[in-house]
Amino acid sequence: MTVEEPKAQGIRWWLVLSCTAAGGVAIWVTFKIAGPDSREDIAVAFMVEAAAALFLLAFFFFLERSFTTRVTSTVVREVRDRVVAPLEARVDNIATEIANLQREVDVGLQEQTARHHDLVMALDPPTAGSVGAALSEATRLNAIAGQVTVQANEDPHGIWVTFSYGAHFRGRDRLEDDQLLIQVWPLLTRRGPGLLLIEDFWGSGEQLSQVALRLSDRLRKNGARGASNTPDWTVAMRNLQRSLDVALPVEHGGWHLSGALHELVGEDWAITTAGIEYRDLGVVVAVEAIPRRPFPFGRRAETDESTHPTEWDPGMPDGADPDEWALVLSRGRAALERPGYALEAGTGLGWTSESVRTWIPAGRMAKPPHAG
């Protein structure tokens, strides 16, 4: 913004000519009226008056120019000091803030990456608090699908473990404080009749070994024995740490998933809410292409070929290992064919709104309801 000095007005020639003509006429009339003896005195007086008028004209002309210049300079200086200078300073500040905006965003992303790194590193050694904090943050950012399932021993076809941090709700009433739920899935029995699920809560004051012992006892009591059904908790916790490290957003680099993580399979495969993903290819099987199992998940629905085909093969990507691909398909279908949260029905003759509880992971609800 600039302030310019006012432009000089043009000369009004019609006014100048009119005044000159009027003066000439007045002089001519004066000479006509005066006698011959008076004309010389009139001429002298006229010359004196003309000289005085010219002098005053020149004097007032230069005085007016000096006054106008002085006033104009003062006004321009005042405008610049009171309006232009503060405005230019504000514009400079805004330009500086805009220039620093991306830098501030980058700093925020770096701080978030450092925070996520700290959450992942805090899992070694794991505690109920550190695992719950990492799961809650990942759920809040929709980096995981509310829970994470990991391979729990060296056999990829063996036992798997699901970790989830949240609470049960009945309607909008919270039934308990947030807690860490561990679910153990022997072999690949999550799909089909004969479902076997062993679960327990990892209390805030407990060691992992205490929970692991209870789960092992329940596995043996339910007939899940053998090497494939024996959890190796070192393997399980390392896989949990790696899964959260992959899922949580980082500033640069890393494996950027297209959806929220359900589980990692092997080194390069991921089951996410977007479908089946490969590290270098992205989504290779979209979730829309996976057959969905209708509710309720009973024997009749599972054997209905029209809605739940038993044979399904979307085609193996080039270069994939056939055995690993078969495992990925099986686990992807098991994780993605059943939508919704986990529901638990109470005992009784039928399901009612009072008998059904819903497990909701911490971080999924922005404003958790008050405890019931």
**102, 177 contact by CB (below 8 A):** no
Spatial distance between the Cα atoms of 30 and 22, rounded to a whole number of angstroms: 12
Which pair of tokens denotes residue 323? Answer: 């055995």
Cα angle 111, 117, 120 (rounded to 5 degrees) comes to 145
Long-range CB contact pairs, 280-287, < 8 A, 24+: 281/317, 282/258, 283/258, 283/259, 284/317, 285/314, 285/329, 285/332, 287/259, 287/336
The whole-number pLDDT of residue 19 equals 81
**pTM, two decimal places:** 0.67
| Residue 86 Cα distances to 72, 82, 96, 205, angstroms | 20, 7, 15, 61
Q: Each residue's pLDDT tens digit in the chain (372 positions)?
A: 454 555 656 677 887 788 888 877 777 777 777 766 676 777 777 777 777 777 777 777 777 777 777 778 787 777 777 887 787 777 777 777 777 777 777 776 678 778 888 889 999 999 999 999 999 999 999 999 999 999 999 999 999 999 999 999 988 889 999 999 999 998 754 444 345 789 999 998 899 999 999 999 999 998 888 889 999 999 999 999 999 999 987 756 678 899 999 999 999 999 999 999 999 899 999 999 988 765 554 444 444 444 445 677 788 888 899 999 999 998 998 888 865 445 555 544 455 555 688 899 998 764 444 433
Q: Which two tokens stand for residue 65?
A: 């120019």
SS (H, E, C) the chain: CCCCCCCCCCCCHHHHHHHHHHHHHHHHHHHHHCCCCCHHHHHHHHHHHHHHHHHHHHHHHHHHHHHHHHHHHHHHHHHHHHHHHHHHHHHHHHHHHHHHHHHHHHHHHHHHHHHHHHHHHCCCCCCHHHHHHHHHHHHHCCCEEEEEEEECCCCCCCCEEEEEEEEEEECCEECCCCEEEEEEECCCCCCCCCCCCEEEEECCCCCHHHHHHHHHHHHHHCCCCCHHHCCCHHHHHHHHHHHHHHHCCCCCCCCCCCCCEEEEECCCEEEECCEEEECCCEEEEEHHHCCCCCCCCCHHHHCCCCCCCCCCCCCCCCCCCHHHHHHHHHHHHHHHCCCCCCEEECCCCCCCCCCEEEEEECCCCCCCCCEC
**pLDDT of amino acid 68:** 77
pLDDT at 86: 82
Do 149 and 162 touch, CB atoms closer than 8 A? yes
Contact 181, 199 (CB under 8 A): yes
Q: What is the pLDDT of residues 193-247, one digit of tens each?
A: 345 789 999 998 899 999 999 999 999 998 888 889 999 999 999 999 999 999 9
Separation between Cα atoms, residue 113 and residue 115, nearest integer Å:
5
C-alpha span between 225 and 216 (Å, rounded): 9
Omega before 125 within 30 of 0, i.e. cis: yes
- CA 98 to mean position of chain CA atoms: 19
Q: How far apart are CA 119 and CA 279, in angstroms?
A: 23
pLDDT digit string, tens, across residues 306-349: 444 567 778 888 889 999 999 999 899 888 886 544 555 554 44
What pLDDT is stored for residue 266 in this prediction?
94
Tokens of 319: 């270069």
Total count of residues recorded for the chain: 372
pLDDT of the residue at 189 = 47
CB 115 within 8 A of CB 133: no
